[in-house]
Amino acid sequence: MLKYLPLLVSFAALIAVPVSGHAAYTMKVTVSFAAGTAGAKPLAKYPTTTKISPCDNSSTPTHNAATFTVTYDATNSTKVVDRDVYFLLFNPEGVQLPKFFVFKKPNLGSTFNLVPRYDVSELSRTGDNFLLRSENLSTGGARTEVLIGDSISLQMVNSGIWQLIGIVADGSSAKMDFDDPRTWEAWDIATLVLRKPWNGNSNKVCGTS
């Protein structure tokens, strides 16, 4: 037994050393349809793994609206906000139109502004964050909010794929790169299809037959 004593002492010393906590940055983005809207109960022929609104006013119900909910934590192990949060609405078919719409709040109590960016090269790690760090009061950990509510109609929005991307990253670091997810702390994406997977040549907007 004595021959194992040095090993036991070493093990006891190891478990007695306090382990420093690490930040658990998180991001979750979901999209849903309220009861009574066109995407709440799509017909069986529609995709089941992706949220979709048929955008067809020849059927009922005809109200096309979606809800985007986000839950994020940009705090470190001591619950201090030390990362930036970004929310980007992305339409991959934006050619003549912007591909990105950046959600920005001047301060915590204000509503957001949607700022167009025509391509990823126009995104700014220091200027396109959702909130200034000083305005992010989610010091208790994860914060949940409805970013786009079902009161916002999808009528006359372009058909095709729309994605809401949420990113937690260090915008103060020159290494942060919108083209390199390895430089992000956490991210998530929710995909919404309006009518069909592309904009196409006809039936190009949601809500018209």
pLDDT per position as a tens digit, 100-146: 999 998 877 777 889 999 999 999 999 999 988 888 877 667 888 88
In a domain, 185, yes or no: yes
Q: The domain containing residue 65 runs over which residues?
A: 21-194
In a domain, 129, yes or no: yes
In a domain, 7, yes or no: no
Identify which has the larger pLDDT, 179 or 43. Answer: 179
pLDDT per position as a tens digit, 69-98: 999 999 988 888 999 999 999 998 866 788
Q: What is the largest CA-CA distance in the chain?
A: 85
In a domain, 14, yes or no: no
> Which pTM does this prediction carry?
0.83
Name 31's Cβ contacts closer than 8 Å, sequence gap at least 6. 51, 66, 67, 68, 69, 164, 190, 191, 192
In a domain, 203, yes or no: no
From first CA to last CA, the distance across the chain in angstroms is: 84
In a domain, 178, yes or no: yes
What's CA 119's distance to the chain center, in Å?
Answer: 18
In a domain, 202, yes or no: no
The CA–CA distances, whole Å, from 121 to 98, 168, 194 equal 12, 19, 26
Residue 174's pLDDT band, with cuts at 50, 70 and 90, is: very high
Total structural domains within the chain: 1
At 13, which helix (H) or strand (E)?
helix 5-16
In a domain, 163, yes or no: yes
